[in-house]
Amino acid sequence: MKINIWLILVIGAAVLSVVVIVDNMVAKLMGGFILLVLLAYLAEVSRDEKEQIDKMQRALDKLRNAYSELDEQAKIIIRTDVELNRTQEELDKKVSGLYTLHELGKLISSTLDVNKLFAQITEPLILKLGFEKTMIFLKDNPQLPPQCKAAIGFDGAHIEQIKQANITSEFLKNVFEVGSSVLVKNADTANPDQKEWLNLFGVSAFVIVPLVIKETVQGYIFVGNTSTYNYISEGDIDSLFILSNQLAIALDNAQLYAALKKSHDQLEVRVQERTKELAQANKELVKLNKMKSDFVSAVSHELRTPLTSIKGYAAILSAGRLGEVTPVQAEKLNKISIHSDELVKLVNDLLDIARIESGKIGMSIKHSSLTEIIKSIADLFYPQTEETHIHLNMEIPDDPLMAWMDPSQISRVFINLIGNAMKFTPSDGNITIRVKPDLAYINVEISDSGIGISQDDIPRLFDEFYRVENAINAEKKGTGLGLSLVKKIVQAHKGTIWATSEVGKGTSFHFTLSINQIEDSQISVE
């Protein structure tokens, strides 16, 4: 277009020069006409150009508008995206928080030890909840300020510094009185009290939630972040309340358990104390029993000496060495002798029991033949059985039986038991000695067909001085020490003795003797 304008101007200039040079009327007219045509063309051309420029301007405006609109749309997209991201972030945090809380809940509810419980709250778990630092404070005593029970993300010196700082503040009072939480998002919005906390704990934001146990605030959880990148929001308070609830339940359980355990322990101590007391009483009793045995032993010794003298003098008197003895005197002297003998026997039995009990009796345990003992006993009782027409039967194995025993003491057992049987068995009655060897023991049974013993008396048969009340006992004298002595001897051989009986049918005494060797040291009587 510009070329055209130049062309027109050149042509115009040429025409004008021709007009000036030629200076002729026709030429002037012609020149004027051509100039007019040229000017008209020029006007037309410039009008076209303006239209085109306008058109382009409009297109440019349209484009500019579209661009602005696009930019506005970009703004909307960004704002929507901001919203979306914030929501997503909150959601992610919440989901991971809940997952972590679930994990933590399982861990802390599985322990009943308060200290172990706090140890379950570890740094990785707290980091997963979205926090860098945590401190848990709990009152040991309602009157005292809360103590730091757990600290995560702090170094030792810093923990000490916080403990020393003895923190108290208005907002903490609210936590304890109302059970409210505290959120400090950053230093700009914090009050001076809260700023002090930010500095002390070295964080840029923090939350405090109360620990409510049994409807009272007993402590609080502090969590904070150092980096301003890790912001803390209202949504975090919800998660922390869940954590504080879990912790409170676990703490309550642990406290209950501790109380239960304490009372259980106290009971245990009391049981132990009582057991100790009983053991002490038992010891006293044993001591008293020994004193009794010692006393009996001493007294018996003291009695035996004068008794021997009495018997001796009675014998001298009845022998008439000190002068004539009238038949009446002789009869009385005989009675003195008989009663002295009974007294001596009583004293001897007492002495034996006391000796066995105190372990003073010298048992000479050796591997001896039971068959031999039984045979000699049978010989011993032969005259008596002949006289009373009582049959003494023996059911013993043919092979000689050997057992570990003191033959003289075991002979005493047989003599006592057979003697008793003879006493309570009527003429033509039977006494049977039955011997059955077992794996470790020989069972000996001495049964009679006597009057029998009532069931009520059986448990007390072996007590010292116990005498069954019956017609025979009323007539025949006895010390009431025989069975007691027998029991002590059997026990001294590590054997057991017991009786079975049926009134009117007879009585059986059973005792055991050891086949295996008994050490002398084992010989004692309970």
Partner 1 sequence: MAIKVGVGKSKEIDSFAAGSLAAKNALSQLGSEHPNLVFVFASSRFDHQQLIRGIKSIISDCPLVGCTTAGEITSLGPDKKSVVVMVIESNTLYAAVGLGKNLSKDSRRAGQEAAHDTLVKTRQGLTRHAFMMLSDGLKGNGVDIIRGVQEVLGTSFPIVGGSAADDFLFSNTFQYYDENVYQDSVCGILFSGDISIGIGARHGWYPLGKPRIVTAAEHNIIKKLDGKPAARIYEDYFGKRVADLQNEPMARMSVMYPLGMSIPEEEECIIRNAMKVDAEGSLVCAGEVPKGSEIRVMMGSKETALKAAQKAAEIALGALRKKKASLVFVFDSVSRERLFGLKSKEEIEVVQKIFGPQTPIVGFYTYGEQAPLGATINLGQTFFHNETIVVFAIGE
Binding site for partner 1 (CB under 8 A): 67-68, 70-71, 74-75, 77-79, 81-82, 85, 89, 92, 96, 123, 127, 155, 185-186, 188-189, 226-231
Whose Cβ is closer to partner 1: residue 231's or residue 498's? 231
CB of 73 or CB of 282, closer to partner 1:
73
Region label for 516, one of left (φ > 0), alpha (ψ between -120 and 50) or beta (otherwise): beta
Q: Which is nearer to partner 1, 185 or 355 (CB)?
A: 185
Q: Which are the contacts of 409, defined by CB distance < 8 A and separation ≥ 6? A: 363, 489, 492, 493
Query: 357: closest CA among 414, 294, 417, 408?
Result: 294
15 vs 207, which CB is nearer to partner 1? 207
State which residue, 82 or 316, has the beta carbon closest to partner 1: 82
Q: Which is nearer to partner 1, 96 or 473 (CB)?
A: 96
CB 181 within 8 A of CB 239: no
Shortest CB 225 distance to partner 1, Å: 9
Q: Which two tokens mark 458?
A: 């059986």
- Residue 153 DSSP one-character state: S
Residue with tokens 């025409």: 15
With vertex at residue 282, the alpha carbon angle to CA 276 and CA 287, rounded to the nearest 5 degrees, is 125
Q: Is residue 515 within a helix (H) or strand (E), and if so which, with residue range?
A: none
CA nearest neighbour of 35 among 20, 14, 49, 21: 14
- For partner 1, the closer of residues 24 and 189 by Cβ is 189
Phi first, then psi: give them for residue 358, nearest 5 degrees.
Answer: -85, 0
Provide, rounded to whole angstroms, the least separation between the CB of residue 58 and partner 1: 21
Closest approach of Cβ 72 to partner 1, in Å?
9
Distances (CA, A) of 311 to 193, 302, 305, 374, 404: 110, 15, 10, 33, 38
Cβ 243 to partner 1 shortest distance, Å: 18
Closest approach of Cβ 134 to partner 1, in Å?
Answer: 14
As measured in angstroms, the least distance from the Cβ of 75 to partner 1 is 5
Contacts of 250 (CB under 8 A, 6+ apart): 108, 109, 111, 117
Question: Closest CB to partner 1 among 24 and 227?
Answer: 227
Nearer to partner 1, 231 or 241 (CB): 231
* Closest C-alpha to 200, from 187, 188, 219: 187
Shortest separation between residue 209's beta carbon and partner 1, angstroms: 21
Residue 176 CA to residue 172 CA, distance in Å, equals 7
Please give the order of strands across the beta sheet that includes 441-448. Answer: 391-395, 430-437, 441-448, 506-514, 497-502
Q: 506 in helix, strand or coil?
A: strand
Least separation in angstroms between residue 229's CB and partner 1 is 5
The answer for residues whose C-beta is within 8 angstroms of residue 16's C-beta and 6 or more apart is 31, 35
- State the DSSP string of 13-76: HHHHHHHHHH--HHHHHHHHHHHHHHHHHHHHHHHHHHHHHHHHHHHHHHHHHHHHHHHHHHHH
Give the span between the Cα atoms of 331 and 317, in whole angstroms.
11
CB of 232 to partner 1, least distance (A): 11
The continuous run of DSSP H or E covering 517 comes out as: none
Beta carbon nearer to partner 1, 85 or 110? 85
* Smallest distance from partner 1 to CB 262, Å: 35
What is the closest distance, in whole angstroms, from the C-beta atom of residue 68 to partner 1 in the complex? 8
Of the pair 49, 89, the CB lying nearest partner 1 is at 89
